[in-house]
Amino acid sequence: MTFLARYAWTSLGMTFLLSAMTVQWSILVVGFWHGLIESGSVKALELTVQSLTGGNFAAGAVMISLGAVLGRASPTQLVVMMLLEIVVYGLNEAIGVVSFGAVDMGGSMFVHTFGAFFGVAVAWALGSEAAHCRGAKRTDEASTSKVASTFAMIGTLVLWMFWPSFNGALAAGPQQHRVVINTVLSLCGSCVAAFVLSRLLRGGKFSMEDIQNATLAGGVAIGSSADLVVHPGPATAIGVIAGLLSVTGFAVISPWLSRHAGIDDTCSVLSLHGLPGVMGGIGGAISAAVASTSVYGATIATVFPARAAGRSASEQAWYQAAALGLTLALSVVAGVITGLVMRLPVFGPVLAANGRGAGLYEDERIWDTSELHTGDPDAPYDDDAPAHEHAGAADAHGAAIKLVPTKRHTGAVAPTESETIA
């Protein structure tokens, strides 16, 4: 999320804070829902490695949702979002796992799909960038820089290397072996596909936005079937298709949603997590439909616990599909309601600066930047800086202004009006 040049501190800080809060809150909430649905009563919670790992999965869902509204929500709003999201996340996961007996080892449905569609629904309810800037004398921009994008790319490489560990964290024995193989092959497929399609759709050059994100789509799409017997060819093909789908989302779908539906998805989580997540859920249903005892032997009850009670392969597939449908429905409805709650004035919404001061996607609304060297090109602006010194400024006639730092920030002589008007 550090691709936002003037919002990197908040991106990292909110990730840190919300993750630490989510792990604790989700252990309580998920444990509550599981006990209630399993036995009709609330049980005493046991802290185990599995429950802590489950807390990290829940944090993953919240971080995905955070990406959709990054830069347009206050810290208080984000905490409210997390608290409400985990309540519905826990309910959805408990119904899917306990009532439906659905299998989702890598979280394609319960983590990626839920987090993405919840976040996009919150983003729609909160309002677009244009809505936040209504009445302001400039339009804020989610701008990046080469340094910021380089740090974000390092994050991508870390995620790419450790995604097999994420998908296989709760697997054991042969399951974990299959998770690692399937995930690595799928990630390789999405990486290659993302580079190829990015160059085709972006005028013959690679887009850093595509490469930072779509290269990971294979890990999302293989999640629901990662622990199943998926041969190398299909595993790689899943990654290739997911990479192509994700790049299409970044290059075509997200811009269209911003222009025509007023949905500004800052990190385009729909493209990386939402669409590949739905694909993964469908793939999990197909894999369940063809799973037979001749392939899995006695371990089929370990992979699909409901099969031990006499459920057929086709029935398991329908329950997998039902879990995906429930995830989509609950995430969208709960996301819209949460976004409306977050808009209440008491939670301090972030508004664009009305002519002066910091705007959206800028750290100084939240962080103390008084000791920051103002010559840094990625440094946030001072709160009292005139609007024309901010990214995305425009003159009275709407003409774009070329941003040249003033003397107060860099020691350079401020440009004349004729030099700044593009």
pLDDT one-digit tens code per residue, 178-206: 999 999 999 999 999 999 999 999 999 99
Q: Which two tokens stand for residue 370?
A: 């008084």
Measuring CA to CA, which residue among 102, 81, 90 is closest to residue 55?
90
Query: Using an 8 Å Cβ cutoff, are 275 and 249 in contact?
Result: yes
At 302, the pLDDT band (50, 70, 90 cuts) reads: confident
* pLDDT at residue 404 greater than cutoff 50: no
Q: List Cα–Cα distances, 340 to 62, 68, 81, 128, in angstroms.
A: 17, 15, 10, 13
φ, ψ of residue 350 in degrees (nearest 5): -80, 125
Gap between the Cα atoms of 220 and 108, Å rounded: 6
Q: List Cα–Cα distances, 107 to 111, 139, 237, in angstroms.
A: 5, 37, 19
Give the pLDDT of residue 418: 43
N residues, the chain: 422
Give the pLDDT of residue 173: 84
Neighbours of 377 (CB within 10 A): 12
Query: What would the mean pLDDT of 238-266 be, rounded to a whole number?
Result: 94
Q: Which two tokens stand for residue 400?
A: 């774009």
Give the pLDDT of residue 181: 95
Q: Which two tokens stand for residue 145?
A: 């820089």
Close Cβ partners of 51 (under 8 Å, ≥ 6 residues apart): 27, 30, 31, 45
Give the pLDDT of residue 391: 41
Residue that has been written with the tokens 């024995």 in this structure? 173
Q: Is 13 exposed, middle or buried (0-12, 13-18, 19+ CB in 10 A)?
A: middle
Gap between the Cα atoms of 398 and 374, Å rounded: 28
123-137, 138-152, 153-167, 403-417: which range is least confident on average? 403-417
Measuring CA to CA, which residue among 242, 208, 209 is closest to residue 224?
242
Q: Which two tokens stand for residue 94?
A: 């408990």
Percent of the chain with pLDDT over 70: 83
Q: What CATH superfamily is the domain 8-347?
A: Ammonium transporter AmtB like domains (1.10.3430.10)
Give the pLDDT of residue 110: 96
One-letter amino acid for residue 383 of the chain: D
* pLDDT at residue 386 greater than cutoff 60: no
Gap between the Cα atoms of 271 and 256, Å rounded: 12
Give the pLDDT of residue 353: 53
Query: What would the mean pLDDT of 218-236 be, rounded to a whole number?
Result: 92
φ, ψ of residue 351 in degrees (nearest 5): -115, 150
Gap between the Cα atoms of 32 and 54, Å rounded: 13
Measuring CA to CA, which residue among 268, 185, 188 is closest to residue 225?
185
* pLDDT at residue 331 greater than cutoff 70: yes
* pLDDT at residue 403 greater than cutoff 50: no
What are the domain boundaries of the chain?
8-347, 373-422
Cα separation of the two ends of the chain:
30
114-123, 137-146, 254-263, 280-289: which range is least confident on average? 137-146
β-partners of residue 401 are 421
